[in-house]
Amino acid sequence: MFFGPVPVREATGGILGHSVSAGSERFKKGRVLSPADINALAQAGHREIYIARLDESDMPEDEAARRIAEAIAGPQARVAAAFTGRANLYADTAGLVRIDRARLDALNELDEALTVACLADYEMVEAGQMLATVKIIPFAAPRSVIERAEAMLKGQPPLVQVAPFVSRRVGLVLTRVTDTKSSVLEKTEAAVAQRLALLGSRIGETRIVPHAEAEVAAAIAALKAAGCAPILVFGASATVDRHDVVPAGLTRAGGEVLHFGMPVDPGNLLMLGRHEAVPVVGVPGCARSPKLNGFDWVLQRLCAGLEIGRRDIMHLGGGGLLKEIPSRPMPRDQGPRDQGPRDQGNTPTGSNAPRRPRIAALILAAGLSRRFGDGHKLLADLEGKPVIRHVAEAALASSARPVLLVTGHQAEAVSQAAGPGVQAVHNPAYAEGLASSLRAGLSALHQPGSDGGLDGVLVCLGDMPDVPAETLEKLIAAFNPAEGRAICLPVHGGKRGNPTLWGLQFLPDLMRLEGDAGARSLFGPHAEWICEVPVETPGILHDYDTPAMLAARQSGKA
């Protein structure tokens, strides 16, 4: 790959290395320069610019990022579309992320052009949270490097995957001595229930027994017979030896102590045991508090169905000093993302953990269809389906949710033709023009409690059936307001098309539109937020307003 300065007049077809201004326009880094762009740059006084040119040995950044992301993704890890050389992986479900650190390091050692950053092994994640990001540093990676990486990953266990939490019916044993207060037992049971709820599990049965070996043994046996697994035992007195009451009770019940003690503070006095296939944990007293401690790390693995043994416990020391962390999260105050241990692959990520953007899709389908003669263009047949069904299915095949259909003219027929999965919103003022439908849809999305924390909305047109779900995913992948990409629109052959993705920060401006003024009228005032997303499909430029236009599409002449 060539990268360097060239005379502006020699830069046609090059990839712009740095963002530059050309009169009133701002050309962003990564733009493939057209002859018109070159003229604009020259007229703006530019004589030399930095560009990149690829050759046959190079693989374009998005293709390289996508291929590596797909190669490392395992179960419950979803790959988002690549943009600017970056492809992210997101969790499909709550659980513990598993990372093969040795192969991750080997992958990052292949070439400086290829980087893969992941969460640490065993970090707790929730659905939609980012697991990893593949970033190609320059505008391309050597093709040979990407092929070597794929060969290294092929046929091996996934490098990134999520072990999902599985609902468990957990047994709880609480021992008491003569001066044990009932409030202490109640607080302990509540803390356990709270922890389990965050992991999708619950307390099945609780046994409160005297703090004696025989009583503990009987309680463990009874809970095992009742189908509880795992079984958690809280002693009224701290366990200080592997022959103390709780470990001895497990042994008497027919189980075995796998390991006593753990290199995590708080949490040192944990006992890990087993009764046949049922894990039994002697829980340290610090777990009566909702604050993070070593018991949380063990419980998370058990609820994710992951084996944990003696060596696993002994290897938890790195990052195991939790006692001196003043910001240690508390389950009662934080969501599931905040329960993971630190450094051991489990840094609490908090409410600001990177996640997939939450994008809704709004299909505008309320128009009068005047130019289509006696019929309705959205109900017309296209390859065996109504035109509107193609648009709805593409939206539903994307990650955008919810998918809203704004109806007006022939509302019931259009809603039925769109098919299942979309939510119809009627616009009684549809005759006023496109803006009224946009307002109706946005109002439905923005009802109190209805937007679900949305970040943006894809505004799709009901008469554009040739826009595939892949294009919608590219727009979503490009969306990043923190990096100045809050209005994302597709470009094909240098021409801007539809749909457009808008950050919710523009909701007030969108709601003020009137008549047939579309959202595109806002491009000028918000030019600095616009991100053009190159796509391969010309469908972003095609709508079908007349029978003749649709017939030409059917015959392949459009």
Write out pLDDT tens, residues 434-476. 899 999 999 998 765 555 689 999 999 999 999 999 999 999 9
Look at residue 350 and tell me whether its pLDDT is greater than 50. no
Q: Is the pLDDT of residue 331 over 80?
A: no
Most confident of 18-22, 35-39, 216-220, 506-510: 216-220
CA distance 86 to 458: 21
Residue-averaged pLDDT of the chain: 91
pLDDT the model gives residue 340: 39
State how far the Cα of 293 lies from the Cα of 408, in Å rounded to an integer.
57
At 133, which helix (H) or strand (E)? Answer: strand 130-136
Mean pLDDT computed over 531-537: 93
Q: What per-residue confidence (pLDDT) applies to 347? A: 40
Contacts of 142 (CB under 8 A, 6+ apart): 57, 58, 59, 111, 113
Model pLDDT, residue 267: 95
Whole-number pLDDT of residue 464: 95
pLDDT score, position 452:
60
The per-residue pLDDT for 321 is 93
Pull the structure tokens for residue 537: 């499909």
CA distances from 223 to 126, 170, 217 (A): 30, 9, 10
Pairing of strands 278-283, 359-365: unpaired
- From residue 210, alpha-carbon distances to 130, 170, 233, 235 in Å are 46, 20, 12, 9
Structure confidence at residue 342 (pLDDT):
36
Query: Taking the domains of the chain in order of start, what are their residue ranges?
Result: 2-53, 58-164, 169-324, 359-555
Task: Give the containing element (helix H, strand E) for 201.
Answer: none
- The amino acid occupying position 217 is A
Distance CA 115, CA 41 (A): 33
Half-sphere exposure of 260 (CA within 13 A, CB side): 14
The third-level CATH classification (topology) of the domain covering 359-555 is: Spore Coat Polysaccharide Biosynthesis Protein SpsA; Chain A (3.90.550)
Nearest to 415 by CA among 404, 401, 400: 404
Class of domain 58-164: alpha beta
Whether the per-residue pLDDT at 489 is higher than 80: the answer is: yes
Supply the pLDDT for residue 168: 97
pLDDT value of residue 268? 96
Model pLDDT for residues 355-404, shown as the tens digit of each residue: 899 999 999 999 888 778 778 999 999 999 999 999 999 999 999 999 99
Cα gap 336→164, rounded to integer Å: 13
pLDDT, position 314: 97
Indicate the pTM of the whole model. Answer: 0.85
- Tens digits of residue pLDDT in 275-330: 999 999 999 999 999 899 999 999 999 999 999 999 999 999 999 998 755 444 43
Domain 169-324: CATH superfamily, name plus number: MoaB/Mog-like domain (3.40.980.10)
Pairing outcome for strands 77-79 and 25-27: unpaired
The tokens 């004696």 sit on which residue?
212
pLDDT at 516: 76
pLDDT band at 24; cut points 50, 70, 90: confident
The H-or-E segment that residue 512 falls in is: none
Q: Specify the pLDDT at position 341.
A: 37
Structure tokens at 476: 């979503």
**Distance from chain centroid for Cα 501:** 18
Q: Is the pLDDT of residue 426 over 60?
A: yes
**Residue range 83-139, pLDDT digits in tens:** 999 999 999 999 999 999 999 999 999 999 999 999 999 999 999 999 999 999 999
pLDDT digits (tens, 9 = 90+) for 55-91: 999 999 999 999 999 999 999 999 999 999 999 999 9
* 3.90.550.10, 3.40.50.2300, 1.10.150.120, 3.90.105.10: CATH of 2-53: 3.90.105.10
pLDDT in tens, 198-244: 999 999 999 999 999 999 999 999 999 999 999 999 999 999 999 99
**In angstroms, rounded to a whole number, what is the distance separating the alpha carbons of residues 123 and 119?**
7
Spatial distance between the Cα atoms of 269 and 263, rounded to a whole number of angstroms: 9
Q: Residue 189, SS3? A: helix
What is the structure's pLDDT at 301? 98
